[in-house]
Amino acid sequence: MTEMAPRRLLLVHAHPDDESINNGVTMARYAAEGAQVTLVTCTLGERGEVIPAELGHLGGAALGAHRREELAAAMGELGVSDFRLLGGAGRYRDSGMMGLADNDDPDCLWQADLDQAAAHLVAVIREVRPQVLVTYDDNGGYGHPDHIKAHRIAMRAADLAADPAVRSGLGEAWRIAKVYWNRVPRPAAEAAFARLNDALPGLPFAKSAAVDDVPGMVGDDRITAVIDGTPAHAAAKAAAMRAHATQIVVAEPYFALSNELAQPLFTTEYYELVRGTAGRGAEGVETDLFAGVTGDEGAL
């Protein structure tokens, strides 16, 4: 059996590009430090809106295949070699935005049986044995059905993976020591948008998004961990976001999605610990998601 890295991080996301926008600095940092970084993406984002005109012909399965290539390129920029699709490529389709008829597609992630979808992730958890899991909050950050379902799958799989009664060839039970949700503190977002509004006349974007458009925003008091990117890690995040060219236009330190509304590219990433024990830093927040993790205490 191949020897495992001492520190192992698992991230669960809905579509290709979500990981780079939310956690690019974090992933680049831990990959550079030699931690095992595993990304599980739940869909290929087949219903995403395509930005470049020359790629506008892409849709459905063809777009999904292209976005899979973009994901591989982004992971190359972040130094991450272990990235997977939940249940295999194409197992779960993009559900589209909340309230659309796409949500009723029986093959989309939103319609997936929770325990069946979670079983795919249980197998990954028991194989990789991560001490730390990162995913969205219970609203998926901003209410997208795939983000909400990715949250539910991640949290359910964490429970099932730790239950020795859950067998069926999924490996030995493993308890994840710490679970974090992606967050952005409102004061940091407001300051970043103030800088954006000053810079907007010189940017290739006509308008700015609103502060409240930022997913996972909470008050400062909810932030328990802060990962502050070095210049190298910040550059890796921007490069990874650029790799998702169908979905993102980057003009550092800003970017826009298909709505063409500029928003800050956060090179400091924020988290809320929702399970496990915090290892507090000098300022009362963690600066390392593995703080307090001693090793393989998750074995059951």
Binding-site annotation: residue ranges = 15, 18, 147
CA distance 221 to 185: 8
Does a cis peptide bond (omega within 30 degrees of 0) precede residue 253? Answer: yes
Q: CA–CA distance from 52 to each of 21, 58, 258 (Å)? A: 19, 10, 9
SS3 48: coil
Could you tell me if 222 and 274 are in contact, meaning their C-beta atoms sit under 8 angstroms apart? no
Could you tell me if 116 and 285 are in contact, meaning their C-beta atoms sit under 8 angstroms apart? no
Annotated binding-site residues for Zn(2+) read 15, 18, 147
**Strand intervals (E) in the chain:** 8-13, 36-41, 82-85, 132-135, 178-185, 207-208, 217-218, 225-228, 249-251, 254-256, 261-264, 268-275
First to last CA, the chain: 19
